[in-house]
Structure 1
Amino acid sequence: MTRVKHDLILRIIKTLDAVLITVPFALCWYLYYTKHIASPFYAKGDYLVVALFFVLFIIFGRVYDAFLMSMQRISEIVYAQFLAAAVSDFIMYIVIWLLSKHLPNILPGVAALIGQVILAAVWAYNANHAYFKIFPPQATAVIYDIRQGMEKLIGKYGLDDKYKVVLTATADECIANLAMLDGVSTVFMSGIHSHDRNVILKYCVENNIGTFVIPRIGDTIMSGAYPMHMFHLPMLKVGRYHPQPEYLFIKRLLDIVISAVALVVLSPIFLITAISIKATDHGPVFYKQIRLTKDGKEFGILKFRSMRVDAEKDGVARLSSGDHDDRITPVGKVIRACRIDELPQLVNILKGELSIVGPRPERPEIAAQYCGEMPEFSLRLQAKAGLTGYAQIYGKYNTTPYDKLVMDLMYIAHPSIVEDLKIMFATVKILFMPESIEGISEGQTTAMSGENN
């Protein structure tokens, strides 16, 4: 089957999903809300409202990866679809509120959401099974140099039904005989130096072989290059992180508005958490720790205390070992699992010490250790640190420092309000996903270890 036909079938299946999820909202709108808004619409207005929901669901479906029927478990697809539908329904509820004389009844909207979740589950199950019935596993090659174990990750994440690894070879072996790639439809390149990678990549493009490349630090820096012409030659201008003033202004405005509103809305959670921490061991409620932000500037990050008061009595800074760390208090385990321990950082955001989105701030002592192993780690300090970030959304709690650095540099290379908003919304997805905080397994450690450039 050609790649064009493959993509067309996928687009049809995904569009069918968006239509199915729109149906409960449309019924809710036509059967209830049209009769209770201030100025009932005629047909065209009704069509526009339903179309708005359709578009919103597609947008947030992409944010939450709700359409990846072949890349995720069915439960993950349903969860992502639920989030996309819930956010879209909420926005439409606000729109309906603005059109009404009073706060509209939310129950019809809740009923629509329940119907959407049921349809999402039906679609996810059938789409997932239909995909693997229509499309056989792709013959796949894994070409590696420093980083090994990609074939183990394919199996670990349940993607062996999509990618059937028929060839594993080193970059040197592949370059010596590029014809070994003939017959495969997908290639994964892992930890290959730029010269060797480019030779293989050009061969793959020439022969219409889909290619996945794990980027290196230099790749992420180059991805933010500005294309231009000079001396009648094509040029790529590369420089330090220097976003437009308008971007920085809007980003700071969003930080102030969102953090202020969140502090007010979440104040009951603050109160309950503070009482629980105090009642557990009578120690301080908050914990202040020195972290690094833009250009290496130090600031005191504020958190709810989740560990014993004497957690670092020897004065040595050390990372948490996860849920099994015996320094974590009973209340600490709960607030860490729900990310509540991070909420006081809204104060840091309001003060301008932190942003909502940006590379996570690291402790000076630990940052110094990382810089000793890979000097490029300091490149994270080009941008203001954030409460959430690219590495937090797409990485895991113990993702290696090298890979977190690459993710952060991918964010820094493309400053955008749209990207910031996407990360904010995507953060909601990981709040209730234990996979986002679990440690790296033995197989992942091999495949995702750092390397020198």
Structure 2
Amino acid sequence: MQSSSIRLLQIDFHLRLTVLLSVFLIFFFNIYGLFSLVRKRLSEIFLNLIVAVANIFIAAMAVTFFMREFEYSRYVIIYSAVFGFILLALWQYVMHQVEVKHLPVPCIFIAADKKEQQKLTEKIRKTYGLEKSGIKLGAPSNHAENIKAIEQADIILIGESIPVEHKEQLLRLANEKMKMVVLVPTLYEISCNKMYLWQIDDLPTQRVSRMRLTLEQRILKRTLDIIVALAALIILLPVMLITAIIVKLDSPGPVIYSQVRVGRFGKEFKVHKFRSMRQDAEAKTGPVLAGENDPRITKFGRFMRATRLDELPQLINVLKGEMSIVGPRPERPFFVEQFIKEKPEYAYRHNVKPGITGLAQIAGKYNTTAYDKLVYDLIYIQNVSVINDLTIMLQTLKVLITKESTEGVK
């Protein structure tokens, strides 16, 4: 009788654990984009899978810690994680091969000026899954040619250099032909992304978003920042202590490097980092962005930058309210002045607190242009939410082991 009740308890436990693991799998597969394999290299898929399975394993260990109905070996979860990864990797590999074999090579129509056409063509040739695409180039003012090109194309790529009236014309033509439209956004399009009905008598108008957070968004974001920063400091304290010791032994100079950066509403503050460069790195040159294979970076500094260990002291900035976990990366006043002169809309990114990580960091590369990073930042500001912040935090784990995300400017 006792053995049968124990068996029933074990079955009940594993059924509940199976449900939890299924929820975790759906959640993390969605976060790391594993339900869609289109235009992804196998190496990227397997990297996403490793990080997803690791997160599922950690979540399962945390949940089972509180499930003490009976004693069991946690090696069961370790074995299931290993075998689960192998089976999922095989499934992902088979589905990837099926998609590669059966997906047709698209034809892309690029509507932009000559300079932007060249840039977009280069980007397409570097994008896995699109590198073999047929490309047609079109002038926005040539209506007859555009109709013919849109009919033959699968994707209509509209550049930021096109006047608004021509964009409307191209969009209308593409919709009539039921083609996919991809837009390189300007500040105007980003601002129009989130608009609200605002009536003047019986006239329907739309109020454009001011690209600022509401009071509710600021409260929720600040609460999440405090919880995550405190938890991260407690968990990572041993790592930070070891890092500090190695920095001190690696090269002469202070362990912590503080530097003035521009924060919310243009207010300056001191950001804290583990020192990754020589003490006199800018004594002769003045402010200079880090370059690829920069000789000023120390041996251990290169490792810290690759793993983002140098950013950990910024958790203190988060607790002080100067930074957020997620947001646009803070820049130095010298570079901010230059960027604003070139692109005045750069100032909009200071409508929110700067962050340790952000959309530009997980979607772009270290050497992505300042303007393209600005576009990512403005898109983030327009779509701030707790869910988006948590998604970016989890996707940052993958970025930490991606080499191209830590390269310097070229």
> Shared fold (TM-score greater than 0.5)?
yes
Would the alpha carbon gap of residues 103 and 319 (structure 1) be closer, same or farther in structure 2, given more than 3 Å must change? farther
Residue matched to 2:109:
141
Q: Is the 8 A contact 1:61 1:84 kept in 2?
A: yes
- Equivalent of 1:156 in 126, 129, 132: 126
The 3-state SS of whatever aligns with 2:129 is coil
Residue matched to 2:38:
70
Say yes or no: does 1:79 pair with 2:29: no
- C-alpha displacement of 1:301: 0.2
Would the alpha carbon gap of residues 288 and 47 (structure 1) be closer, same or farther in structure 2, given more than 3 Å must change? same
Map 1:10-89; keep pairs closer than 5 Å. 40=10, 42=12, 47=15, 49-89=17-57
Q: Is the 8 A contact 2:138 2:146 kept in 1?
A: no
Inter-partner Cα distance in structure 2 for 1:365 and 1:238: 31
Inter-partner Cα distance in structure 1 for 2:400 and 2:298: 20
Amino acid across the alignment from 1:183: Q
Would the alpha carbon gap of residues 329 and 177 (structure 1) be closer, same or farther in structure 2, given more than 3 Å must change? closer
Would the alpha carbon gap of residues 174 and 312 (structure 1) be closer, same or farther in structure 2, given more than 3 Å must change? farther
Inter-partner Cα distance in structure 1 for 2:163 and 2:74: 56
- C-alpha displacement of 1:250: 2.2
Say yes or no: does 1:216 pair with 2:186: yes
Would the alpha carbon gap of residues 237 and 373 (structure 1) be closer, same or farther in structure 2, given more than 3 Å must change? same
Inter-partner Cα distance in structure 2 for 1:294 and 1:361: 9
- C-alpha displacement of 1:369: 0.6
Residue matched to 2:341:
372
Would the alpha carbon gap of residues 165 and 245 (structure 1) be closer, same or farther in structure 2, given more than 3 Å must change? same
- C-alpha displacement of 1:435: 1.9
- Equivalent of 2:67 in 94, 99, 119: 99
Amino acid across the alignment from 2:346: F
The 3-state SS of whatever aligns with 1:223 is coil
Q: Is the 8 A contact 2:290 2:408 kept in 1?
A: no
- C-alpha displacement of 1:328: 0.6
Cα deviation, 1:148-174, whole Å, max 9, x if unaligned, reads 23233222222237x621422232345
Cα deviation, 1:380-426, whole Å, max 9, x if unaligned, reads 11011111111111111011111111110101112211111111111
Q: Is the 8 A contact 2:278 2:298 kept in 1?
A: yes
Q: Is the 8 A contact 2:224 2:386 kept in 1?
A: no
More displaced stretch, 139-148 vs 96-105: 96-105
Structure 1 spans left out of the alignment, 5+ residues = 1-33, 442-453
- C-alpha displacement of 1:101: 5.3
The 3-state SS of whatever aligns with 1:313 is coil
Residue matched to 1:27:
none
- C-alpha displacement of 1:429: 1.1
Cα deviation, 1:49-108, whole Å, max 9, x if unaligned, reads 434432332222222122332211011111112222222232233222222258964322
The 3-state SS of whatever aligns with 1:237 is strand
Structure 2 spans left out of the alignment, 5+ residues = none
TM-score normalized with structure 2 length: 0.91
Runs of 4+ in 1 over 6 A off after TM superposition: 34-37
Would the alpha carbon gap of residues 175 and 435 (structure 1) be closer, same or farther in structure 2, given more than 3 Å must change? farther
Q: Is the 8 A contact 1:291 1:363 kept in 2?
A: yes
Say yes or no: does 1:131 pair with 2:99: yes
Residue matched to 1:240:
210
Map 1:194-343; keep pairs closer than 5 Å. 194-314=164-284, 316-322=286-292, 324-343=293-312
Would the alpha carbon gap of residues 172 and 436 (structure 1) be closer, same or farther in structure 2, given more than 3 Å must change? farther
Inter-partner Cα distance in structure 1 for 2:207 and 2:106: 38
TM-score normalized with structure 1 length: 0.83
Inter-partner Cα distance in structure 1 for 2:347 and 2:82: 47
Q: Is the 8 A contact 1:143 1:174 kept in 2?
A: no
Q: Is the 8 A contact 1:82 1:120 kept in 2?
A: no
Would the alpha carbon gap of residues 174 and 104 (structure 1) be closer, same or farther in structure 2, given more than 3 Å must change? farther
Amino acid across the alignment from 1:375: P
Q: Is the 8 A contact 1:285 1:305 kept in 2?
A: yes
Say yes or no: does 1:182 pair with 2:151: yes
Equivalenced residue count is 403
